[in-house]
A and B are shown apart, each in its own frame.
Chain A
Amino acid sequence: MDLVGHMLHVAIRSGTPLLLAALGEIFAERSGVMNLGIEGMMLVGAITGFAVALATGQPWLGLLAACAAGLLMSLIHAFLSISLYANQVVSGLSLSMLGLGLSSLMGYAYVGVALPSRILPSPVPGLADLPVVGPALFCQDPVVYLALALAIASWFVLYKTKWGIMIRATGDDPSAADAMGINVYLVRYICVAFGGALAGLAGAYLSLVLTPAWVECMTAGRGWIAFALVIFALWDPLKAILGAYLFGATEALQFYIQASLGVDATLLGMMPYVATILAMLVAASEVLRKRLGAPAALGKPYIREERVI
C-alpha cells in the first residue's frame, strides 16, 4: 500500500540520525568509553553544518564541517575520561550541556533563516518504482545510504578485521589488551573521535536534510535516544539498523495516529521517549537473561600503573 511505503520512508529517514549517532557510540563503547555527550555533539554538529552550508552554499561541506565539529568536541571528552581518568558520566554530561549552550549561542543568528541549497533524495533508477519497498528504501537521500553502508562496514570491521578485535579487546579487558601490546589509550581516543564525528554528522543531517532549518535544541533528546539504542542493539551495528528504523517508525506513527485517531499531538509527542524507556526495559531483561552484555570494562578508566592490593 502506498501508506505503508510512505511510513517506511519516513521511518528510515527519521531513523537515520539515530543510526549514525548510535554507530559512532557503538565504537566508543566497544572500546570501553561511554559518551553521554552525544546530544551536545549533535547540536554543535547541527549548527556548524547549517552555518557552513549557508556560508558556502554547499550542504555537503556543511556535513563535513559538522563531522569535524563533533570530532573536536569528542576529543575533549576523550581527554577528560581517558587521559585524566575523569568519571565518564560527568564528563559526557558536561559536554552535552556545553554543546547545548554553545549551539544556542552560535545559533541565535540563524533562527528562521532558510537554506538555499538542499540535499535532495536521489532515487535509485528502476528500484525506486517497486511497490512499497520502492519509496521506502530506494527513494532516499544519499546520507541514508551512507548510514546504511557505514553500519554494514562497521559490522565488518568489528567482527572480521584485526582492528575490530583490538577494539573489542580494549573494551572487554584493557589490561589484557595492554599486555598484548595494544595501545589502549590510542584505540579509545580513535573510537571516541569517530563517535563524535558521527554524532556531528547526525546533527547536521537534522538541520540540513531532515527539517531543514536551525531550531534551538532541535535534537529534542535524540542524542540520549541514540545512547539507549546502542544498549538496545546489544552493541551490534546490524541490530542498530533495525532499532534506529523502529524508532524512526514511532515518529511516522505519531503523524498517522494523530491524523487518523485524532489523539492530541502533544501526548503523542511523548511516544519516542516512552518508547526509549520501554526499549531499555527490553534490553535490560535480555542482557540479564542472555548474559550478553556491555563490554566488560565499559565506563571504567584504564590506569596502567595501578597497584593491585
Chain B
Amino acid sequence: MAIGLKLRLPIELKIEKRLQVSSRLRIGISLASLGLALALSSLIFALGGLSPLAVYGTTFSWIFGTSAGLSFLIVKGIPLLLCAVGLVVAFRAQVWNIGAEGQLLLGAVASAGLALFVMPSAPAPILIPLMFISGFLAGAGWALIPAILKAKLKVNEVITTLMMNYIASKLVEYLIYGPWRGKTTWGFPYTDLIPPNAVLPTVPGTSIHWPTLILALASTIIVFMLMERTSLGYEVKVFGDNPDLARAAGIRPSKIIILTMLISGGLAGLAGVGELAGRHRMLRNPLHISAGYGFTAIIVAWLARLNPLACVLTSLFMGSLLVAGCVMKSSMGVSEASVNIFNGLILACIAAGEVMLRYKVRLSFSWRGRRRGVGNGPGRAHAPRGH
C-alpha cells in the first residue's frame, strides 16, 4: 500500500500514477487546495478568538468598496509580483531562493544610500532610474553568494539564503541605529526622509507608486518570454527537471544556478527600491520594509504553479490576504506575523494537492480476504494454458 497506514478495513486505497494531466484538473486542484487552506486558517483564527467572517467581510468591502482599499491592495501586490516572477525563474531551476526578503532589503539599502548620500541633488529623471539599477544590482549581488556556494560547492541554498535574510536585517538595523541615523528624526531609528526628487510619483489620489508597478508588469512579461521562448529559459527548464541530463547535454549547471539567482535577487531588489522610494521614503525597521513580502512571494509563485502570468492573479489574491492581516491587526491587535498561518497552510495544501496531480486514487473493495478490483468478478482458478 502506498499510504503508510494499516487499515484493517475491507476498503483498499490504491494510488496509481496518472498518465495525462489536463489544465482543467490543475486549476481545479489548485482551487480545492486553496479552499481547504482558507477553511483551515479560518478555523484556527476562530479558535484564537477572532471572527474570520468579520475579517473577510471587512477586507472584502474595503478592497472592493473604497478606492483607498483598492489602492492599498495594489500597493501590497506590487512587491509580491516583482519578487514572485523572480522566484518563478529560480524555482523552475529547482534553485530554492528563500532569500527574497534579504534581497529586497538590499535593494532598499542601495537606493537609500544613493538618494541620501551619493547624489541627493540629482534630478529625478536621472536619480530614479539609477536607484532602480542600483537596487537591482544590490539584490542580485546579495543572491550571488549563496549562488556561488551552491554552484561550486553544492551548499544547500535554502539555508544560505535564509541566513542572508537575517544578515540583511541586521545590516539595516545597524545602519538606521548607527551611521545612517537621521538628523531630523529626534533620535528615532530611521534615516532622514529621502529628498523629494528621489520619491516615486504616485497615481493621484492613491498611494500606488506607478513606476514600480510598470516595472512589475514588464518583468512579468519579460520572464514569461524568457521561460517560454528563449534558449536560456529552455535550459533552465531542462536543468530543473533533470540536472544530470542537462549536464550530460552540455548545459553548465553553474551558469543556470548563478543566472537564475541573479535574476530573482535583482527583481527582489527592485521591489525593495519600490518600497523605499514609493512607500516609506526612508529606511526604517527592516521588518516594516520587507514585511514578509519575500516569503509570501514564494506562495504567490507556487500558487501560480510557477507560471509568471498567473502570478498577477495570485499576487492580488495573496495581497488581499495581507490586507486581511492588517485588518486583523488594527481591529483586533493580532500580530501581523499571523498572516503566516495563511502562507503556511496554503503552501501545505498545495503540496498535498500535488499528489492528486501525479496520482489517481482508486478505491477497491475486498471481500473476505480475497482481492477484487472494482467491478470485477472473484478470482477463479483457470484451466492451464496448454502447450
Contacts and interface: CB of A to CB of B under 8 A. Distances in A.
A and B touching (C-beta < 8 Å)?
Answer: yes
A291 interface: no
Interface in B327-366: 333-335, 337-348, 350-352, 354-355, 358-359
Nearest to B179: A264
B4 A186 contact: yes
A96 B337 contact: no
Nearest to A85: B355
B60 interface: no
B166 interface: yes
A285 B170 CA distance: 28
Nearest to B296: A97
Given A106-B48, A228-B159, A284-B149, A96 B344 contact: yes
A101 B340 contact: yes
A10 to B, nearest CB: 20
Interface stretch (B22-30, B150-158, B219-227, B240-248): B150-158
B160 interface: yes
Nearest to B152: A284
Contacts of B3: 83
B178 interface: yes
A101 B335 CA distance: 9
B173 interface: yes
Contacts of B127: none
A94 B155 contact: no
Contacts of B145: 277
B375 to A, nearest CB: 21
A87 B351 contact: yes
B352 A84 contact: yes
Contact of A89 (B44, B96, B173, B295): B96
B338 A101 contact: yes
Nearest to B325: A101
A269 interface: yes
A216 B48 CA distance: 16
Interface stretch (A114-122, A200-208, A217-225, A239-247): A217-225
Interface residues of A, number: 60
Contact of B178 (A84, A264, A277): A264
A7 B3 CA distance: 49
B337 A101 contact: yes
A127 interface: no
B348 A276 contact: no
A285 B167 CA distance: 23
Interface string A233-276: 00000000000000000000000000000001011011001101
B174 interface: yes
A66 B355 CA distance: 31
A163 to B, nearest CB: 18
A104 B298 CA distance: 20
Contacts of B335: 104-105, 108, 216
B177 interface: yes
Given A105-B44, A270-B167, A280-B160, A100 B348 contact: no
Contacts of A83: 2-5
B331 to A, nearest CB: 14
Interface string A128-153: 00000000000000000000000000
B98 interface: yes
Considering residues A82, A90, A216, which has the most beta carbons from chain B within 10 angstroms of its beta carbon? A90
A98 interface: yes
A86 B351 contact: yes
Contacts of A108: 333-335
B355 A221 contact: no
B351 A267 contact: no
A95 interface: yes
Interface in A48-98: 76, 80, 82-87, 89-91, 93-98
Nearest to A304: B2
B124 interface: no
B156 A266 contact: no
A303 interface: yes
A172 to B, nearest CB: 19
A269 to B, nearest CB: 5
B2 A303 contact: yes
Contact of B158 (A89, A269, A287): A89
A18 interface: no
A96 B162 CA distance: 12
Contacts of B45: 105
Given A231-B156, A267-B170, A80 B351 contact: yes
A76 B351 CA distance: 12
Contacts of B48: 105-106
Contacts of A266: 170, 173-174, 177-178
B344 A277 contact: no
A113 to B, nearest CB: 15
B163 interface: yes
A49 B298 CA distance: 30
Given A82-B4, A101-B339, A221-B162, 19 more contacts: A80-B352, A89-B158, A97-B295, A98-B343, A104-B334, A105-B335, A105-B341, A108-B335, A185-B4, A264-B178, A269-B173, A270-B166, A270-B170, A281-B153, A284-B149, A288-B154, A303-B2, A305-B15, A307-B17
8 contacts: A86-B351, A90-B302, A96-B344, A105-B45, A186-B4, A270-B170, A273-B164, A276-B163
Interface of B: 2-5, 15-17, 44-45, 48, 96, 98, 145, 149, 153-156, 158-160, 162-164, 166-167, 170-171, 173-174, 177-178, 295, 298, 302, 333-335, 337-348, 350-352, 354-355, 358-359
